Amino acid sequence: MRKPDESFHFGSNKPGKMIGASGILKLSISFILAALVAGRNTALRDGIQTREWPCPVDADIAPCVCTTDDDFNLFMECSLVKTSGELTTIFTADFPFVNFVSLTIDHAGCTDCNLNTLPADVFGGVGFQTITITGTNLQTVEEQAFSASHETLKNLRLSSNKISAFPFESLGDFKVLTQLRLNGNKFNADTPIPGIVSATLTELNLSTNDELVITPDLVTNCPEIRIVSLRNGKIPSVPLFDTSPISMFNGLTNVHTIDFAGNAITEIQTNSIVSETDTLTKVDFSHNDISIVHPTFVTGFSSATGNTLLMADNKISFLDEKVWAAIFEELPVENSVDLSQNPILCGCEIAWLVNSSSKKSLTETTLCEDGVQVVKNLPPAAFVDC
């Protein structure tokens, strides 16, 4: 029991201490927040709270589901939305907060879904940092479809849909966009990809489209680009600017990964892949029909270990010293050049390589035309008469 001369003050279990004004304010805010949260329908599943506040009222956005984590970051899952009209209606609801971390729509396995268009302003005033839409019948993305995300969108992932119409020209409106993935869609000869302008884009993935038609200025105006994936698009050649010729990657100081695998390339011209700042770490030309490569067709690998030039499954037969000596010099580390599944001639035309330390750059799977002899293991003694 408290002694008669001891005072007791709200907010303290110690006699004689009075809580300050700031303490009362903090307690008041805490009680208000607790009351708001307790007064709403709240559940906890796998560390993610599904509730109305700070999300919209559940019924107003169904079948979308809004979730929030312990830091009140907001996430929107809309995989049960089936049409563009339904999606538009949902985002006319009252959203207490309009800045979300992510939106996800995944229609894989949905047989009656028909989300084929993203109209302008379809998401109302709600913005996202990451948008992932995959496995849908989406064909057209209208300009301003993501208008409320101009200041927030970092990752735009629209893989494995049916997109053939996309507003590339407006990508410069997104102030922090770093990743654009449009792989697995339906871009074709009737929908060529224009030059992209983005001050922030670091990754572009256009792989696995029906037929990619690209121009040399595809990423010229993307100064921060690091990864360019253009595989499986029936591309017939690496585009070059007519003057000189100049590489489509000329002037890009950060690019390190370039993927042209699985296309219809038969010949690679001089200066096709150039990094003036020596930042390249991986260049992939595997699974084409390449039979001719010209001197300095690729230059600018970094000095770091682990760099690779992948050219497996082509039709390269002649390892011309004028072409390949410089390549092996740039890639001196063992197993850094893959020429497996090529019909490489191993007669006197390859003697220069057999007698050079450069051969260590080749992978163990790089075989002669007979499919048996490992090129890097050919004995120099067998070439003394060459």
Give yes or no for residue 48 having a pLDDT over 70: no
Nearest residue to 100 (alpha-carbon basis) of 154, 141, 47, 180: 154
Question: What's the token pair of residue 274?
Answer: 């150039």
pLDDT value, residue 4: 39
| Residue-averaged pLDDT of the chain | 89
Give yes or no for residue 172 having a pLDDT over 90: yes
The answer to whether the beta carbons of residues 348 and 383 sit under 8 Å apart is yes
Q: For 315-331, b where at least 16 C-beta lie within 10 A, e where not — what string?
A: ebeebeeebbebbbebb
* Cα–Cα dist 203/235, whole Å: 19
Give yes or no for residue 37 having a pLDDT over 70: no
* Cα–Cα dist 50/226, whole Å: 37
The answer to whether the beta carbons of residues 202 and 177 sit under 8 Å apart is no
pLDDT tens digits, one per residue of 336-357: 999 999 999 999 999 999 999 9
This prediction has a pTM of 0.86
Q: DSSP 3-state assignment of 368?
A: strand
The answer to whether the beta carbons of residues 63 and 93 sit under 8 Å apart is no
Give yes or no for residue 43 having a pLDDT over 70: no
pLDDT value, residue 118: 98
Q: Which CATH superfamily is domain 43-345 in?
A: Ribonuclease Inhibitor (3.80.10.10)
The model's confidence at residue 242, banded by pLDDT at 50, 70 and 90, is confident
Residue bearing the bigger pLDDT, 248 or 8: 248
* Cα–Cα dist 288/266, whole Å: 7
The model's confidence at residue 52, banded by pLDDT at 50, 70 and 90, is low
* Cα–Cα dist 16/347, whole Å: 98
Phi, psi of 324 (to 5 degrees): -90, -20
pLDDT tens digits, one per residue of 65-114: 999 999 999 999 999 999 999 999 999 999 999 999 999 999 998 999 99
Phi, psi of 273 (to 5 degrees): -120, 115
Parse the chain into domains and list their residue ranges.
43-345
